[in-house]
């Protein structure tokens, strides 16, 4: 009897991870294949899309072989993918150059010109985003200016997962969440914004059809079946961008639910019935994988990256040692506060000139205080994001947590205490993106009627960290907020000194 499994591919920055998922079994198995990122210029970041395809074929073949799958065991293939890329392809789907990925910063001028023409407030009102050089649209405009031959020959601009989906099915499509990442998508209408597309200097035809993340966009062709080892005719569900897949994989599929993703960066996201447009533009909003919902979001640059930095500074390679020392230091780190703005900050400040800062350092502080302050600084900044979302009318009674940082018991305890909310650890915190994609696949092929019901199977809570009542963190939070506000002119002065080449 067929097993009705979902094969979810997580096309990340470092490689593709294929995860085999069953609604009853949970995660059955996985396979990973790496690929490289190239930087021909310091601020550029590119990948070869042929590497994506080869990785998907290799991981799929290994899954089929390892788990001895019959051709009817896989009910659907579905994707989570890195967002905000730019891959120009010709009419046959052949790449015209390497893909420009999300981390690439070459399109600063194009992003500035776009925002100046339309106006930042109007761009945000239409898209729900503060569009910058990381978004796909400005990268397309960069190609028009700097690689006109490639631009002229482009039939479609695709995201990573959408390129693979075309190779599997022959279908041109993207989903609503990845469409949001272009900076050209009307959030409320769920369609390409003609005004923005034209302002960016594009023809509407170069953008693929945008559909719900749960939509079946095609079936495996004979050639794709032979390349992957799966059955010809297997349904392919489009899936979503990795951040939005993580939202579903965290079980954030109902009003009032929220989660924190703790990785090198971090974000706090929720679910709402309507787009959340902040008058101060502190947060941004994606279309949820469930097309009846949206996902308001605030993201910060340096979460796990801050911990990695301070561990490297002190030569502490053993994370257990780092955590033990930080845990031995009580809440408040002896009056030491850390602003985790090592590379500027996104939500809610949107200040690229902000810098990492320790406030309150004395000779009585040791490295344990510094370790604890860094953990608390990340949590305090997430509370700033939480406050920004709550000030827009969202109620967040409890918060889930996923990502690599979710494995840290200390960090979970600090987050619960700083956010003053119960913190729920989900069943598969390291695989939230793949699980979210699998949930969309299961809904797409009718194995379960809704993402909420899929979440009951795959995103259940396995542990709850209750907050400890304390006066320390409310006082520390006020200091944290005030410290940033007072230091903004200092950050500006330091940036000018560096820009003038004085240091």
Is the C-alpha dihedral spanning 216, 256, 82, 434 positive or negative?
Answer: negative
Q: Given the structure tokens 């940033």, which residue do they identify?
A: 484
3-state SS class at 135 = coil
Euclidean distance between the first and final Cα of the chain, in Å?
A: 69
Grade residue 2 by pLDDT with cuts at 50, 70 and 90: low
The whole-chain average pLDDT of the chain stands at 97
Helical axes 367-390 vs 472-499, angle rounded to 10°:
100
Grade residue 123 by pLDDT with cuts at 50, 70 and 90: very high
| Integer Cα distance of 1 and 173 in angstroms | 33
Name every residue whose Cβ is closer than 8 Å to that of residue 399 and which is 6 or more positions away in sequence.
258, 259, 260, 268, 386, 415, 419, 421, 422, 423, 424
pLDDT computed for residue 352 by the predictor:
93
pLDDT above 90 coverage of the chain, percent: 97
Q: Which CATH class, in words, describes the domain spanning 304-385+471-499?
A: alpha beta
CA 241 to each of CA 63, 132, 342, 437: distance values in angstroms, whole numbers, following the listed order: 23, 18, 26, 9
If we measure between CA atoms, which residue out of 402, 157, 142 comes closest to residue 261? 402
If we measure between CA atoms, which residue out of 94, 138, 107, 116 comes closest to residue 41? 107
Summarize pLDDT for 206-233 with one digit per residue, the tens. Answer: 999 999 999 999 999 999 999 999 999 9
| Integer Cα distance of 245 and 502 in angstroms | 45
135: pLDDT strictly greater than 60:
yes
Summarize pLDDT for 306-323 with one digit per residue, the tens. Answer: 999 999 999 999 999 999
| Integer Cα distance of 498 and 47 in angstroms | 31
Q: How many helices (H) and strands (E) does the chain have?
A: 17, 23
Identical topology for domains 5-244 and 304-385+471-499? yes
Radius of gyration of the chain (CA): 23
| Integer Cα distance of 266 and 322 in angstroms | 20
CA 430 to each of CA 183, 190, 262, 386: distance values in angstroms, whole numbers, following the listed order: 28, 30, 10, 23
Q: Given the structure tokens 């979210």, which residue do they identify?
A: 436
Grade residue 256 by pLDDT with cuts at 50, 70 and 90: confident
300: pLDDT strictly greater than 60:
yes
Which of the pair, 498 or 125, is modelled with greater confidence? Answer: 125
If we measure between CA atoms, which residue out of 89, 87, 179 comes closest to residue 131? 179
pLDDT computed for residue 145 by the predictor:
98
Summarize pLDDT for 230-249 with one digit per residue, the tens. Answer: 999 999 999 999 999 999 99
Residue 334, CB half-sphere, CA atoms under 13 Å: how many?
17
Summarize pLDDT for 326-364 with one digit per residue, the tens. Answer: 999 999 999 999 999 999 999 999 999 999 999 999 999
Is residue 43 within 8 Å of 103, Cβ to Cβ?
Answer: no
The two structure tokens encoding residue 55: 């990785």
Summarize pLDDT for 429-479 with one digit per residue, the tens. Answer: 999 999 999 999 999 999 999 999 999 999 999 999 999 998 999 999 999
Q: Could you tell me the residue ranges of all domains in the chain? A: 5-244, 304-385+471-499
Grade residue 305 by pLDDT with cuts at 50, 70 and 90: very high
Architecture of domain 5-244: 2-Layer Sandwich (3.30)
Name every residue whose Cβ is closer than 8 Å to that of residue 247 and which is 6 or more positions away in sequence.
253, 259, 269, 271, 286, 288, 289, 295, 436
255: pLDDT strictly greater than 90:
no
Is residue 19 within 8 Å of 431, Cβ to Cβ?
Answer: yes
Kindly report the pTM of this predicted structure: 0.96
Backbone angles phi, psi at 359, to 5 degrees: -120, 125
pLDDT computed for residue 358 by the predictor:
99
Name every residue whose Cβ is closer than 8 Å to that of residue 500 and which is 6 or more positions away in sequence.
none
């Amino acid at each position: 009897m067929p097993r009705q499994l979902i094969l979810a591919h997580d096309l990340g920055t470092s490689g593709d991870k294929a995860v085999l998922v069953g609604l009853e079994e949970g995660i059955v198995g996985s396979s990973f294949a790496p690929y490289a990122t190239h930087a021909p210029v310091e601020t550029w970041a590119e990948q070869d899309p042929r590497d994506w395809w080869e990785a998907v074929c290799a991981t799929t073949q290994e899954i089929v072989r390892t788990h001895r799958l019959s051709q009817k065991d896989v009910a659907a293939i579905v994707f989570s993918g890195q967002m905000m890329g730019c891959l120009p392809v010709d009419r046959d789907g052949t790449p015209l150059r390497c893909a420009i990925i999300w981390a690439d910063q070459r399109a600063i001028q194009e992003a500035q010109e776009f925002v100046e023409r339309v106006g930042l407030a109007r761009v945000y009102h239409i898209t729900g985003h503060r569009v910058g050089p990381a978004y796909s649209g400005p990268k397309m405009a960069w190609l028009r200016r700097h690689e006109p031959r490639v631009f002229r020959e482009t039939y479609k601009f695709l995201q990573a997962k959408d390129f693979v989906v075309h190779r599997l099915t022959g279908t041109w499509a993207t989903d609503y969440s990845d469409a949001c990442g272009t900076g050209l998508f009307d959030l409320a209408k769920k369609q390409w914004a003609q005004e923005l597309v034209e302002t960016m200097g594009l023809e509407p035809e170069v953008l693929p059809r945008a559909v719900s993340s749960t939509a079946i966009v095609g079936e495996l062709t004979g050639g794709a079946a032979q390349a992957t080892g799966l059955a010809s005719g297997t349904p392919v569900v489009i899936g979503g961008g990795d951040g939005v897949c993580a939202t579903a994989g965290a079980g954030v599929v109902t009003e009032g639910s929220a989660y924190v993703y703790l990785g090198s960066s971090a974000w706090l996201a929720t679910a709402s019935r309507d787009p959340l447009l902040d008058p101060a533009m502190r947060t941004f909003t994606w279309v949820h994988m469930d097309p009846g919902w949206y996902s308001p979001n605030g993201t910060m640059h340096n979460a796990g990256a801050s911990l990695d930095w301070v561990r490297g500074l002190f030569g502490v390679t053993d994370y257990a040692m780092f955590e033990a020392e930080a845990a031995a230091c009580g809440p408040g780190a002896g009056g030491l506060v850390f602003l985790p703005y090592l590379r500027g900050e996104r939500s809610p400040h949107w200040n690229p000139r902000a810098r990492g800062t320790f406030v309150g350092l004395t000779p009585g502080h040791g490295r344990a205080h510094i370790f604890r302050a860094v953990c608390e600084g990340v949590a305090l900044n997430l509370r700033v994001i939480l406050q920004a979302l709550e000030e827009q009318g969202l109620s967040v009674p409890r918060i889930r947590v996923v990502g690599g940082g979710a494995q840290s018991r200390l960090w979970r305890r600090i987050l619960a205490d700083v956010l003053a909310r119960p913190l729920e650890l989900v069943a598969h915190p390291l695989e939230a993106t793949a699980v979210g994609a699998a949930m969309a696949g299961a809904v797409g092929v009718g194995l379960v009627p809704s993402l909420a019901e899929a979440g009951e199977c795959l995103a259940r809570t396995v542990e709850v960290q209750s907050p400890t009542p304390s006066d320390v963190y409310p006082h520390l939070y006020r200091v944290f907020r005030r410290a940033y506000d007072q230091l903004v002119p200092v950050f500006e002065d330091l940036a000018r000194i560096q820009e003038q080449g004085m240091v």
